[in-house]
Structure 1
Amino acid sequence: MELPFRRRNPADVDGDEEKAHQLPSPQNVSLRERFKHFTWAWFTLPMSTGGIALLLASTPHRFTGLTTIGKIFYIFDLVIFVCLVAGIIARFTLAPGSLQKSLLHPTEALFVPTAFLAVLNILACIQEYGVPASGPWLVVTLRVLFWLYMAVTFCLAVMQYWYLFTAPKRLTIQSMTPAWILPIFPVMLTGTLASLIAANQPPSARLSIIVAGVTFQGLGLMVSMIMYPIYLTRLMQYGLPASNLRPGMFIAVGPPSFTGLAFIGMANALPSGYGYFATRPMAIEILQTVALFMAIVLWSLSFWFIALAIVSVLAATKSTKFHLVWWAFVFPNVGFTICTGNIGRQLGSQGIMWVASAMAIVLVTMWFFVFISHVRAVLTKEIMMPGKDEDKDQYKWDDEQHNIPTPP
């Protein structure tokens, strides 16, 4: 993701222009060279595709063939994911040392978690499409993968934020975008995964999965809540992001909406008559009520963020060019849509459920729009090119050794 910028020092202009002139002409860039700029942000594509498959599995109003369409999206998601893994390996092979650079780059490194989010969608869709048609072995497999995923993503969240806090090139307030939340996203959505798989797990395993889900969903929400004041301060002081980066504002929609749907799902999966709830049978009904009203409160915050992002994007449609962050049109809003449908189910409101179904249609349409734009951008060499992707050098050190983002 490119970063919003402030006006450059005139003394730096000549150096920047000289650097720009050194970039090769698009006609002279080979496919081999382009693969060296295949960044982690590409995993926003399978992340969003798997999100659509998950959305189609949970849409309130269904018709014959909808599940089949969801399975097609899921299979396509698997194909894309495998291709992107091959692509990122090709990049690291063609450019020795680029793996370490990508993990330490202050901008590109923020998108490493999207690969783990793509994996989470694969696991969630295994539950939705695989478990109903398979044996108990798949339930056990998902339980093992759940704990493994939780451990790996928690380590990722700790180490990535630790590096951002100690890196030589520090991110500054004026460069703040909702992408700063991404490192906590994978472990946060452990709760979302728990809400999906818990109901099929035996009571002895279900309660521990739900407790872990609440723990890390709560962790992700609290870290996000810490980030939101920084984000709003950045908007107040420095204005909106560049026009082609404004779709990234939808990332802020994700944490509260995914937390709302996770709380509802986990509360509904609580094991009656087992463990803690064996001596407190009324606790389940109370927790389900609390979860519903917490989800409504969190939904309202997501709705405000989504409205703000829509207005900001519409205000700059004429000057917008494709960027991989456009996939934020889809994935965060998947959580918002599923949360809306779950609230409607809990309240028994057909009106709310019809709104969720209509939103699902809009999101599927948006997926096709962004996918076509993505393919077109690759063919016209707007992305995956020297100096145009998340791996480019966008920082200059000022006299106080603080980096200042500069325009491309």
Structure 2
Amino acid sequence: MPSSVDDNRNRAVRDGSQSNDSVRDASTSGHIQDAERNDGKNANHRVGLRERIKHLTWAWFTCTMSTGGLAIVLAETPHRFEGLYTIGVIIFIFNVVLFLLLSSLMATRMIIEPQHFFKAFWHHPESFFFASFWLSIAVLIGNMQEYGVTLGGHQRTWLISTIRVLYWMYAGVSLANSIQQYWMFIHRRPAKPALMTPAWFLPGYSAMLTGTIASMIASSQPPANRMSIIVSGCAYQGFGWLISCVFIAIYVIHLMENGLPNPDLRPAMFIPVGSAAFTIIALIGQAKAIPRDYGYFASHPTAADTLQTMALFVGIFLWIFAFWLFSIALLAVLGGTLRMGFTLSWWAFVFPNVGFTVATIELGKELESEGILWVGTAMTICVVLIWLICAVACVKAVVTKRIMWPGRDEDKDM
């Protein structure tokens, strides 16, 4: 008799559990269907130009970072053909127009939606992308140097002086930006901890690129100005590299504990690659630009050769680390390719790998290795192809309402 009672009780519990599971499954299914219906309504209801401009986020400037970076890698590629300079100039001019267009649209966003615009500076997913605006300016300065002085052969005093003034202005603004962005994030009192994302690197990047720009412009500056640019560039590059080291450690731990991000966001995993790559470029370029007969180096004649050797071997030391980060990101992307939809994080396919490509080319030049230089040329071709893919996908995403649409951009939680 007790056994029969227990059986009946167990059957009732089991039936009740199955009933609850059915209700839960039906509820979940209903929520999914509701979400799909709402998403369909959201995609089909009329949204005007004003509403779309409202959702033009700071992440759009990753596009100008990458387009300007493409012009730089074309300027640096070792195996050249007639007309490549002209192609680079066209891309440079196109990037200037694109930057002005995005800046105008961002100003329009501020005017028509001021509350939404200013809230973006405190909103975690979007706020860190503000640094991409300053990084775009750094790239424009680098393009001015490459196509106006280095390749253009225009040793006009006014242009060299203009680039120097822009460098110092950028140095001040980029450091202030990196301080205030990290301070705002540290100072806030969040309801819940924010998940680590590669966008955390960008404010530090904006200061770190000061060192990279210094390495590009220093050799064309007068010795008196060159020394201050090299010293400041070294300091800024060290700051950016150490900030990146902190975040690389945090990010690797985050990946080990939580696994890979959503496939749509995996292209952003290439961002840490640039931290090591741009440091290689900065160290080698600054060492090569040292004025041997001026100031400290005039009284220490062997110092320049020593620093150039150190820069080369530290660069080799860092390259393999950049390759490791690149490989992790590449495997993650390949594993989610079939499930990957376009987001603005796709532009991370380009900009960090511009740095990786130029760093490889610089090492090849210093080691006088034709093999490494051909690897750099092959990487250049890959960067060009991936930029074309990203550009087409970006335009298509705007047309098909995947981005710049309510609830689908970095500001969707605001």
TM score, norm. by length of structure 1: 0.90
Instruction: Kindly indicate whether the alpha-carbon contact (under 8 Å) linking 2:43 and 2:401 is maintained by their aligned counterparts in 1.
Output: no
Kindly indicate whether residue 340 of structure 2 is the aligned counterpart of residue 320 of structure 1: yes
Distance in 2 (alpha carbons) for counterparts of 1:82 and 1:98: 21
Task: Give the drift of 1:166.
Answer: 1.1
Task: State the alpha-carbon separation in 2 of the partners of residues 118 and 171 from structure 1.
Answer: 32
The one-letter code sitting in structure 2 at the alignment partner of 1:281 is P
Give the Cα separation in 2 of the matches to 1:162 and 1:301. Answer: 29
| RCO comparison, higher one (Cα < 8 Å, 6+) | 1
State the 1:170 CA deviation.
6.8
Q: Please tell me the residue identity of whatever aligns with 1:302.
A: A
Deviations 1:192-241 (A, max 9, x none): 00000000001101011000000010000001101111101110110001
Code of the aligned partner of 1:256: A
The corresponding residue for 1:67 is: 85
> In the alignment, does 2:161 pair up with 1:140?
yes
Please, which of 146, 164, 169 is the counterpart of residue 190 of structure 2? 169
d(CA) in 1 for partners of 2:217, 2:191: 39
CA separation of 1:297 and 1:171: change in aligned 2, threshold 3 A: farther
- For structure 2, the 5+ residue unaligned runs are 1-26
Compare 163-172 and 260-269 and name the one that shifted more. Answer: 163-172
Partner residue, 1:151: 172
Greater helix percent: which structure? 2
Alignment of 1:297-376 (within 5 A): 297-376=317-396
| Structure 2 residue aligned with 1:290 | 310
Q: Which of 209, 216, 223 lines up with 1:196 in the alignment? A: 216
Shift of 1:21: 4.0
User: Structure 1: how far apart are the matches of 2:330 and 2:70?
Assistant: 20
Q: For residue 6 of structure 1, what is the aligned residue in structure 2? A: none
Secondary structure, aligned partner of 2:56? coil
In 2: Cα distance, 1:84 partner to 1:349 partner: 41
Q: Are 1:242 and 2:262 an aligned pair?
A: yes
5 Å matches for 1:5-404?
Answer: 21=38, 24-131=42-149, 132-133=153-154, 135-169=156-190, 172=193, 175-393=195-413
Pick the structure with greater CA Rg.
2
1:97 is paired with a residue of what secondary structure? helix
Q: Which residue of 1 aligns with 2:19?
A: none
Deviates more, 1:212-221 or 1:18-27: 18-27
1 CA distance for matches of 2:192 and 2:383? 32
CA distance in 2, matches of 1:315, 1:382: 22
Question: What is the rounded CA distance, in whole Å, between the counterparts of 2:413 and 2:256 in structure 1?
Answer: 26
Q: Are residues 381 and 18 of structure 1, via their aligned partners in 2, closer, same or farther at CA, if it must alter by over 3 Å?
A: closer
Q: C-alpha displacement at 1:157, in angstroms?
A: 0.5
- Equivalent residues, number: 383
Displacement of 1:353 in angstroms is 0.3
Contact 1:106 1:169 in 2 (8 A): no
Distance 1:172 1:251 in 2: 22
Distance apart, 1:133 and its partner CA: 2.7
1:25 to partner: Cα distance: 4.1
Other structure's SS at 1:361 match: helix
The CA distance in 1 between the partners of 2:87 and 2:282, in whole Å, is: 24
Indicate the percent of aligned positions where both proteins have the same amino acid. Answer: 46
> Structure 1 residue 171: deviation in Å?
7.2
After TM superposition, the score normalised by the length of structure 2 is 0.89
Which deviations, in whole Å up to 9, do the C-alpha atoms of 1:40-83 show, x marking residues without a partner?
00001111000000111111111111111111110110110011
Provide the C-alpha distance between the structure 2 equivalents of 1:59 and 1:18, rounded to a whole number of angstroms: 49
Distance of 1:19 and 1:228 partners within structure 2: 37
Question: RMSD across aligned C-alpha pairs, in angstroms?
Answer: 2.1
